[in-house]
Amino acid sequence: MPHPIETDTIKIAVLGAAGGIGQSLSLLLKTQLTSFSNNRHVHLALYDVNADGVRGVAADLSHVDTPITLTSHSPADSADALRDCLINAALVLIPAGVPRKPGMTREDLFAINAKIVGQLGGAIAQHCDLSRVFVLVISNPVNSLVPVMVETLYASAPAASAGVERRVFGITHLDLVRASTFLHEHTVNRTEPSYKMPYVPVIGGHSGDTIVPLFSLASEQQYIAQQQLESLVHRVQYGGDEIVKAKNGQGSATLSMAHAAFQVVKNFVLLLTGAADTISGIFYVSLLDRAGQPACPGAAKLLAQIDGCTYFAAPVTVTRSQGVVDVDYGILGKISTYEREKLLPLCLPKLKTSIEAGRTVGTTV
């Protein structure tokens, strides 16, 4: 399904587009993105190893009446499928990989999904302009696969990857979506107006104890007693398990994840079109550059407060040309004693182990 790409087109590559997240996210992109594209042409390049799946998704979405165009790419259709999908992409979204089944942790997906993400990272290094592209990693375990992606880009494009760690983002936004939803459920009859959704920052990583919801920073926090707080925190940390259990072997969160990813992608599109000079949000990012120096101004101060964890989901500021330009280390100065003394100490050692696993695999690509 070839399609000419205009030079001012914003090309978005979706790798794993035939999957549960890939399909729902592609639908949201095709139906909703025009409102955020500032009159720029958007093209969706859909890639999957499931050839029938991705052909079908692209054909189906091509009947949706928006000006966003699509192409389908699969290795069964062309040896250059991945190159054709990635070339000139400004944004690469990666929901490619295997989801959990009941009884599994996200870490159990590491071996298989690290291979997939490592292979895709090698292709991104080869075909994308690393000084321009943004890479958003959705596949699990995010805590390890973002280091895999960053190290793969370094190893595969030694001359072109300076600063690329500032352009690779682990997508943990579903944790914020859940925290907001669960707090809203909890407070709905106690606060006015009940149609306003709370904002709850969630930092750390994206797996169990590494997920650190900061309910103390929500304006509704006065409605939460300590015992309720602990169960809200636990529900956010293990919210993914609720879906895995309900789907009973048919996968994990796809619809809520597509919603969360869309919220993120639309902001990146605003940045890419120039409608926004900077965007901010909580992303799982590298705090060190390739030389082992702090990757951005706030990184050194954040590292000092998180026991040297070299990747962390924290509020960051992003520009189109530089990627992450700052991280808000000050957020840790505002959190409650419970969050600082109970939640962070459980998060940090587990996060470090996952980061190390990812860095080790990534450097051997």
Q: List active site positions.
A: 206
> Nearer to ligand LMR by C-beta: 164 or 174?
174
**3-state DSSP call for residue 132?**
coil
Is the dihedral angle over the CA atoms 182, 264, 30, 125 positive or is it negative?
negative
Min dist. Cβ of residue 97 to ligand LMR (A):
10
The one among 118, 147, 198, 240 contacting ligand LMR by CB under 6 A:
240
Asked whether residue 163 is marked as a ligand-binding residue, the answer is no
Q: Which residues pair with 318 in a beta bridge?
A: 279, 324
Q: Which string of DSSP letters, residue by residue, matches 186-203?
A: HHTTTSS-TTSPP---EE
Q: Which stretch binds ligand NAD (CB under 6 A): 5-13, 139-147, 217-225, 313-321?
A: 139-147
- 15-24: b or e for each residue (b if 16 or more CB lie within 10 Å)? bbbbbbbbbb
> Nearer to ligand NAD by C-beta: 38 or 50?
50
Q: Which does 244 bind (CB under 5 to 8 A by kind): ligand NAD, ligand LMR, none?
A: ligand LMR
Amino acid at 43: H
Question: 66 to 105, contacts with ligand NAD by CB under 6 A?
Answer: 95-100
Quick one: DSSP state of residue 48? -
Q: Which stretch binds ligand NAD (CB under 6 A): 42-50, 126-134, 225-233, 262-270?
A: 42-50
> Nearer to ligand NAD by C-beta: 173 or 273?
173
- CA nearest 206: which of 76, 298, 311? 311
The one among 17, 90, 168, 174 contacting ligand LMR by CB under 6 A:
174
Question: 254 to 283, contacts with ligand NAD by CB under 6 A?
Answer: 254, 257
Q: Which string of DSSP letters, residue by residue, matches 267-284?
A: HHHHHHHTS-SEEEEEEE
Task: Kindly report the backbone phi and psi dihedral angles of residue 242, in degrees, each rounded to the nearest multiple of 5, phi listed first.
Answer: -60, -40
Question: 201 to 220, contacts with ligand NAD by CB under 6 A?
Answer: 206
> Nearer to ligand LMR by C-beta: 51 or 346?
346
The one among 149, 244, 331, 348 contacting ligand LMR by CB under 6 A:
244
Task: Kindly report the backbone phi and psi dihedral angles of residue 97, in degrees, each rounded to the nearest multiple of 5, phi listed first.
Answer: 145, 180
Distances (CA, A) of 5 to 57, 89, 211: 20, 10, 40
Q: Are the C-beta atoms of 158 and 122 separated by less than 8 Å?
A: no
Q: Which does 251 bind (CB under 5 to 8 A by kind): ligand LMR, ligand NAD, none?
A: ligand NAD
Residue 253 binds ligand LMR (CB under 6 A): yes
The one among 30, 106, 127, 173 contacting ligand LMR by CB under 6 A:
106
The one among 14, 30, 42, 53 contacting ligand NAD by CB under 6 A:
53
- CA nearest 153: which of 138, 137, 173, 171? 137
Min dist. Cβ of residue 244 to ligand LMR (A):
6
> Nearer to ligand NAD by C-beta: 122 or 294?
122
Residue 140 binds ligand NAD (CB under 6 A): yes
